[in-house]
Amino acid sequence: MILERPNVINLRKLQAQLGGLKNRPDIDQLSKMIKMFQLYQAGQKEISTKLENLDSEFQVNYDYNPIHHMESRMKDVQSLLQKAERKGYELTVESIEKNIYDIAGIRVITNYVDDIYKIEKMLTKQSDVTLLRRKDYVKHPKVSGYRSLHIVVKVPVFQAEGPIDVPVEIQIRTVGMDMWASLEHKLRYKTNVDKKLVDQYGDQLQGYADELEKIERGMQDIHQNLI
Ligand code: GTP
Ligand code: MG
């Protein structure tokens, strides 16, 4: 049996690591932020469980799983504060809660394009899940060729004092879209790639995004005809 020991966060050490920030939060604010992270992580678990349950129910009813796999991640304190600073928000818990919605994130990788919308519908019609934001880059891809459905939902987390609503960002995309986004991300974020090559590969990837779309639609049609 493996027992996982939770990370103990040392607030002073953490504060020291945040030296690069212009307005470094004090220990009191940082301690509030750590509590906020615990809450957001609980919200992320609530949504992950809901998605797993929906996938299992689908398997029983239709002998098929819409979800290929899921990944979840929490933004770390450092990149959260850097993002807040970059966007010009105050580095307090109140301001971060009001303005930043991707502290808790889940990526859902589906088998086919239609599964993206099935999952969104099944999740958002649950009575304790509320849709806060929605960006459909599947119907309206980015110029880069990036496709994915981004939604932010809020879900109540039951604390000792009562329920608190927590936002969770969910990116839903197919296996093909995920493969494309991983490679394109590598191209954009690798700093040592020649600018000319970045442009050339960028164009190439943009073309592949269209081709992938056609292939995925075609494969979905075959799959549907086989049900
Ligand atoms: P921020 O979250 O504040 O950056 O802005 P936003 O919410 O307007 O961003 P957006 O909806 O574009 O989604 C941000 C996330 O989507 C990024 O962290 C990436 O994971 C992903 N993403 C968005 N655009 C692209 C893209 O062109 N290529 C790749 N590979 N990923 C992208
Ligand atoms: Mg975002």
Strand order of the sheet with strand 130-136? 67-74, 104-110, 162-174, 149-159, 130-136
Q: Give the C-alpha separation, 116 to 108, whole Å.
A: 8
Q: Is residue 195 a part of any domain in this protein?
A: no
Q: Is 223 in the pocket of ligand 1 (CB under 6 A)?
A: no
In a domain, 219, yes or no: no
Query: Which tokens hold the place of 124?
Result: 């958002």
Each residue's pLDDT tens digit, 69-117: 999 999 998 899 999 999 999 999 999 999 999 999 999 999 999 999 9
Please give the distance of CA 75 from its chain centroid, rounded to a whole number: 10
**Ligand 1 pocket check for 173: Cβ under 6 Å:** no
Q: Is 103 close to ligand 1, i.e. is its CB under 6 Å away? A: no
Strands 67-74 and 149-159: unpaired
Is residue 180, in this structure, part of any structural domain at all? no
Q: Is the CB of 69 under 6 A from ligand 1?
A: no
The complex scores an ipTM of 0.94
Q: Is the CB of 142 under 6 A from ligand 1?
A: yes
Residue 46 has pLDDT above 90, yes or no: yes
Judge whether 204 lies within some domain. Answer: no
- Please report the atom of ligand 1 found closest to the CA of residue 181: 30
Query: 225 CA to middle of ligand 2, Å?
Result: 37
- More confident: 2 or 37: 37
pLDDT value, residue 6 = 67
The response to whether residue 184 sits with its C-beta less than 6 Å from ligand 1 reads: yes
Please check whether residue 208 lies inside any domain of the structure: no
Whole-number Å distance, alpha carbon 219 to ligand 2 midpoint, is 30
Count of domains in the chain?
1
Residue 165: which CATH number? Answer: 3.30.460.10
Q: Is residue 193 part of a domain?
A: no
* Closest ligand 1 atom to Cα of 102: 2
Backbone angles phi, psi at 219, to 5 degrees: -65, -35
218 located within any domain: no
Ligand 2 center to 5 CA (angstroms): 30
For residue 147, give its domain range: 2-175
Q: Which ligand is nearest to the CA of 80?
A: 1
- The residue whose C-alpha atom lies closest to atom 18 belonging to ligand 1 is 102
Residue 42 falls within a domain, yes or no?
A: yes
pTM of the model: 0.92
At residue 43, the pLDDT reads: 97
56: pLDDT confidence band, cut at 50, 70 and 90?
A: very high
The torsion of the CA quartet 196, 198, 199, 202, rounded to 10 degrees, works out to 160
Q: What is the pLDDT of residues 114-139, one digit of tens each?
A: 999 999 999 999 999 999 999 999 99
